[in-house]
Structure 1
Amino acid sequence: MSNAIRIHRHPLSGHSHRVQLLANLAGISHELVHVDLMQGAHKKEPFTRLNPFGQVPVIEDGDIVVSDSNAILVYLARKYAPSWLPQNAVAEAEVQKFLSIAAGEIAYGPAAARLITVFGASLDPEFCATVSATVLGKLEAHLDGREWLVGSTPTIADIAIYSYTAHAPEGNISLDAYPNVRALLARIEALSGFVPMAATPIGLAA
């Protein structure tokens, strides 16, 4: 494992899961390093030497340190799994669009709704539900007649939206009205090397 990428993560973090998922699907050698978020390990040394912003995930690839889950996805795809990031400028721009959606509407919708129910976060559930309905509706429409978000094969766009969308029901965000979205999630789950994110007990203290 000496040449393996070290993924500093927490098993209940969807941002962490998307990095682990790509590594598994692409066959990238890696080891998981647990960061105890519940004890605040991400806000103090030695972790803050890796990421002064105090957030997981972070990867170490030899002397290289990369933080932010979407940035890590791009890095890993560029260096180790080029088939997961199109080289065509238009297709790559499309992938970047969905990375922005993952960091924006999905983060403020399904991911935030899950923070309320699972971790007791003080957020507005109605706002989260509204944002969730908007972004899931957009994804549903985009996926009409498509198997993947961009092109004819899975990309890091699909990985970026997977974790928090798949776990949206934990935040009381139903996926029943979005068959195309559910079909995409099922296709991702059917890929060789898929690894699920840990299920989270409702009411877990932050």
Structure 2
Amino acid sequence: MKLYHHPLSGHSHRAHLFVSLLGLPHELIEVDLAAGAHKKPEFLKLNPFGQVPVLEDDGVVVADSNSILVYLAKKSGSTEWLPEDPVGAAAVQRWLSVAAGEVAYGPAAARLITVFGAKFNPEEVIGRAHTLLGRLETHLAESDWLAADHPTIADVAVYSYVARAPEGNVDLSPYPAVQAFLGRVEALPGFVPFVKTPVGLTAEAA
């Protein structure tokens, strides 16, 4: 099993985190984004969208981080990470959509400004991040996990960019339930950390 990734990509981290939580043997292959390796023909054969991560598993190629989470959960044969009942499956899907939407356009976008120099409006994306965090705080004040009474791929999908939100100048201190949730994810057996970058509020704290 090969996982094409970049260490500063939160999308890559969520895939790497889940492979590790499942304890699956895998080879990490770093894609040099700065050199444009993700736009080269050989990589575009794996993912025509030119994005990391991509999972290659015995001839099966899966692109998109959330798709990789679903694939691995199904392959593991455990319904804990991805429930099969209609209500449980829908609850997980709801948060996968949040990860692809509100997380991507909020804390992830804010971090893209400081880490990669993206040309987003900082005030706008930081505002979106706090709107999301407020909703997460309300939800997590009443539940340890996002979609069930145990961890699922919903939690894996949301974790990475929320954990590194301070790198995008998004302060997590007003959100104790969110911080406690991050701690619960980090306490899971097999957890692998997302590399820290000394930018944004992280730089100020250093």
Give the TM-score range, shorter chain.
over 0.9
Q: Partner of 1:163: helix, strand, or coil?
A: helix
2:102 maps to what in 1? 105
Q: TM-score, normalised by structure 1?
A: 0.94
Distance 2:199 2:175 in 1: 23
Structure 1 stretches of at least 4 aligned residues deviating more than 4 Å after TM superposition: none
- Confirm or deny that 1:96 pairs with 2:93: yes
Q: Which blocks of at least 5 consecutive residues in structure 1 are unaligned? A: none
Shift of residue 28, structure 1, vs aligned partner: 1.5
Distance 1:189 1:123 in 2: 30
Which amino acid in 2 is paired with 1:130?
Answer: G
1:161 maps to what in 2? 158
Percent identity over paired residues: 59
1:142 maps to what in 2? 139
1:56 maps to what in 2? 52
Shift of residue 142, structure 1, vs aligned partner: 0.9
1:151 maps to what in 2? 148
Q: TM-score, normalised by structure 2?
A: 0.94
Of 182, 196, 199 in structure 2, the residue corresponding to residue 199 of structure 1 is 196
Structure 1 range deviating more: 81-90 or 138-147:
81-90
Distance 1:202 1:129 in 2: 15
Aligned pair count reads: 199
Q: Partner of 1:46: helix, strand, or coil?
A: helix
Distance 1:81 1:137, change over 3 A: farther
Taking only aligned residues, the RMSD between alpha carbons, in angstroms, comes to 1.1
Distance 2:135 2:155 in 1: 14
Which amino acid in 1 is paired with 2:11?
Answer: H
